[in-house]
Amino acid sequence: MEQQTSFEKAHAMVEHIFRALLPEHGLMIREAQIMLCHEMLDTLFEGKIALCDAGVGIGKTHAYLAACLLWQRFCPVHLPGTVVISTSSVALQRAIVSEYIPFLSRVLLQAGILEYPICAVVRKGKERFVCEARLAERMAQVRTKTNISRRQAASLRILEKTYDLDEAPGLSGFDRRHVCVPPMCPRNCTMRDFCRYQQYLRESRGAEVVIQICNHNYLLADAVHRQQELRPLLKEHHVLVVDEAHKLPEAARQIYSRSVSWEDMRGVCEALRRERFVSISERLAEKQAVLMASLSRLEHQQEETSVAFELTPERTRALDATIACLRQTAVQLAPYLPGWLLHQLEGMGDTLELFRNQDPWYVLYIQYSHSGTPALCAASRETPVQLARALWASGRPAILTSGTLATGGNFARAEQMLGLEQCGRTKKFVALSPFDYERNCLLYIPKDMPDSRIGTEAEHLARRIEELIIATHGHALVLFTSYSLMGEVHTHLQNRLPFPLLEAWRNGHQAVRLFKNLSNAVLFAAGPCWEGMDFPGDMVSLLVIARLPFPVPDPVSEAERKQYHSLQEYIRAVVLPDMQSKLRQGFGRAIRTETDTCVVAVLDRRAAEGQRYHAAVLEALPKCRLSDSLEDVARFIRERKTLEYFQQ
């Protein structure tokens, strides 16, 4: 009876928080958000796993934070009250710990719902923090060198005030590697007692910490530690929240896969050289150079790509020689090497043996970087099973939320990738966006786009994009699925537009910042700009999707395809849901607030009315006005925008 009373009190508190307290502090009442919080609270009390598809503007972060805080207050006292929140992006982690939690803490303290301020901590890998000894050594080097730039020296000096490397803007990759906490901290370190990283670890494990925030990789690394009965990375917890849950399978694939790259090999050789085993380092470097040469890509391969690994006689000889050298080095130097380096030598040998033995439990392939540098990658064929064992078998209640968990009207693809197909504890909930898309968004899908297979695709795309940009007076974000096509279209449009034209390449943060500072620019982007970027207001009044974002075939997807009886079944079960998920992520860049208005243009011929994927596109997106007329685009912008918009 007491449990039921606590349950009812918690749900009554949800109503009070979202209908009275938060509106008093400037937030809107959103029925979908309140329903979402009730569902999440039910999940925690029932010990279940909730898949929550929450549309843009729902306010899911406040919903799950409120549910977790109320569960902590009313849960049985014998359970550990700590909550872990796992996200994909650093930006969201920062927002949770510096904006969402302080705001809720202040509101709930004033209302008497909480007795103490919420104590939360961001948990990250040691490579994200500064080592006192290594920083002191690097600063001594900087003071004696004349070729150190002022900016580089200033970035290093910031680390004397903060131990978080992410808070030192402008810090070079070289300096990050040389001042970060090493893989193994020496127990006899003279700075250990006043080391800020060690102090951070002690505070993170303190009794007052009730919320731990980490990324998906750190969450899974903690699970691996627990499975191997090693010291956990995270403080003991009872509740798990996975935000940006659509990114969890990708993180699991990284954790449960193994790889050896040219950079890994070079790093091991450099570490041996620093330990003064120069001749051994040179011998190993020779073996590795022969192996890398056997993996060189074909001349016609230009972009980043991956190809299935084939064991040729040349590669067999190179693998045998490299593995033997790694094993011999590990045995010979075991008494003299630090533990982390010895572990790296052994792990590299184990990974190369997967390729030498053609291990059937892994998908074996070669990943080539943009510059052509190869890496041997072994992707586990059982990632969903491993994910289920690591996270869901524990019995903890969990909330998984994202804006793209449901595709094609169901959660089947998400359950498959997350390892939840056989789990009997799952429940699903869809919270639709509160935005008025039918009034504020026009979906433009022309019928006259050419087939993408013809050689003049870039020219046709450029012409249509130019027409759209003129019609909307700039304020445009153009999303591409390939950097090569983006470059071709950009070349066609250079010096043809009356608005600033920017390109965001692989590390395009500067271009994105410049786009946000300009009043009516045009940004061409690919890769990470499909999600996670926030462009509120009139900044993006035209969103162009140049091609439907179908997944690019690779050895891993080819291995998955073989699990289906036919290609059509594979397309229905995997290819279409993955495309719809990515399309929804891209569409989410268009409207970020209740008052935003935007034209979304899909310029892929396959999306047009009567074509193969028209229904799938409409099914993936919120219900909007649909048009194939450029005149409608210009009219929509004229009707929805103020005079100031056209004067920018």
List the beta bridge partners of residue 441: 598
Task: State residue 344's pLDDT score.
Answer: 93
Task: State residue 454's pLDDT score.
Answer: 66
Report the candidate in 227, 234, 178, 247 with the shortest Cα–Cα distance to residue 205. Answer: 234
Task: Note whether 67 and 44 are within 8 A (CB).
Answer: yes
Confidence class of residue 160 from pLDDT cuts 50, 70 and 90? Answer: confident
Task: State residue 143's pLDDT score.
Answer: 81
CB atoms within 10 A of CB 184: 13
Provide the phi-psi class of 581: left if phi over 0, else alpha when psi is between -120 and 50, else beta. alpha
Task: State residue 299's pLDDT score.
Answer: 58
When pLDDT is averaged across residues 519-537 and rounded to a whole number, the result is: 87
Report the candidate in 609, 616, 556, 542 with the shortest Cα–Cα distance to residue 584. Answer: 616
C-alpha 288: how far from chain center? 32
* Whole-angstrom distance, CA of residue 158 vs CA of residue 160: 5
C-alpha 274: how far from chain center? 34
Question: DSSP 3-state assignment of 464?
Answer: helix
Question: DSSP 3-state assignment of 260?
Answer: strand
Task: Note whether 407 and 589 are within 8 A (CB).
Answer: no
Confidence class of residue 303 from pLDDT cuts 50, 70 and 90? Answer: low
Provide, rounded to the nearest whole percent, the portion of the chain with pLDDT above 90: 71
Task: State residue 216's pLDDT score.
Answer: 97
* Whole-angstrom distance, CA of residue 376 vs CA of residue 362: 12
* Whole-angstrom distance, CA of residue 181 vs CA of residue 199: 13
Angle between helices 60-74 and 31-46 (to 10 degrees): 40
Task: Note whether 539 and 499 are within 8 A (CB).
Answer: no
Six token digits for residue 512: 């994105």
Question: DSSP 3-state assignment of 538?
Answer: coil
Amino acid at residue number 615? A
- The mean pLDDT of the chain is 91
Examine the pLDDT at 648 and tell me if it is beyond 80.
Answer: no
* Whole-angstrom distance, CA of residue 205 vs CA of residue 384: 30
- pLDDT, one tens digit per residue, over 189-233 is 888 888 999 999 999 998 899 999 999 999 999 999 999 999 999
DSSP letters of 366-387? EEE-TT--EEEEEEETTHHHHH
CB atoms within 10 A of CB 118: 22
Confidence class of residue 1 from pLDDT cuts 50, 70 and 90? Answer: very low
- pLDDT, one tens digit per residue, over 87-103 is 998 889 999 999 999 99
List the beta bridge partners of residue 50: 399, 427
In the block, tokens 């061409």 appear at 524
Question: DSSP 3-state assignment of 429?
Answer: strand
Question: In the sheet that 120-122 helps form, which strands lie side by side, from edge to edge?
Answer: 120-122, 211-215, 83-87, 239-243, 398-402, 49-54, 426-431
Question: In the sheet that 542-545 helps form, which strands lie side by side, from edge to edge?
Answer: 501-504, 522-525, 476-479, 542-545, 598-602, 441-444, 625-627
- pLDDT, one tens digit per residue, over 496-527 is 999 999 998 877 788 888 998 888 899 999 98
* Whole-angstrom distance, CA of residue 16 vs CA of residue 286: 69
Six token digits for residue 426: 């799952």
DSSP letters of 208-247? T--EEEEEHHHHHHHHHHHHTTPPPSSPP-SEEEEESGGG
* Whole-angstrom distance, CA of residue 62 vs CA of residue 82: 17
Report the candidate in 71, 84, 17 with the shortest Cα–Cα distance to residue 43. Answer: 71
Consecutive H or E run containing 536: none
C-alpha 389: how far from chain center? 22
Instruction: Indicate the DSSP class of residue 390.
Output: I
Question: DSSP 3-state assignment of 311?
Answer: coil
- pLDDT, one tens digit per residue, over 226-285 is 999 999 999 999 999 999 999 999 999 999 999 999 989 999 999 999 899 999 999 999
* Whole-angstrom distance, CA of residue 420 vs CA of residue 413: 10
Task: State residue 430's pLDDT score.
Answer: 94
Task: Note whether 621 and 587 are within 8 A (CB).
Answer: yes
Confidence class of residue 536 from pLDDT cuts 50, 70 and 90? Answer: confident
C-alpha 353: how far from chain center? 30
Task: Note whether 167 and 196 are within 8 A (CB).
Answer: no
* Whole-angstrom distance, CA of residue 66 vs CA of residue 447: 47
Instruction: Indicate the DSSP class of residue 192.
Output: G
Confidence class of residue 169 from pLDDT cuts 50, 70 and 90? Answer: confident
In the chain the domains, ranked by start, together with CATH numbers, are 2-119+208-254+387-431 (3.40.50.300), 126-191 (no CATH), 258-380 (1.10.275), 437-647 (3.40.50.300)
Q: How far is CA 242 from CA 51, 239, 396, 465, in A?
A: 10, 10, 13, 37
* Whole-angstrom distance, CA of residue 342 vs CA of residue 347: 9
Q: How far is CA 518 from CA 85, 347, 512, 513, in A?
A: 35, 49, 10, 9
Task: Note whether 194 and 132 are within 8 A (CB).
Answer: yes
* Whole-angstrom distance, CA of residue 505 vs CA of residue 509: 9
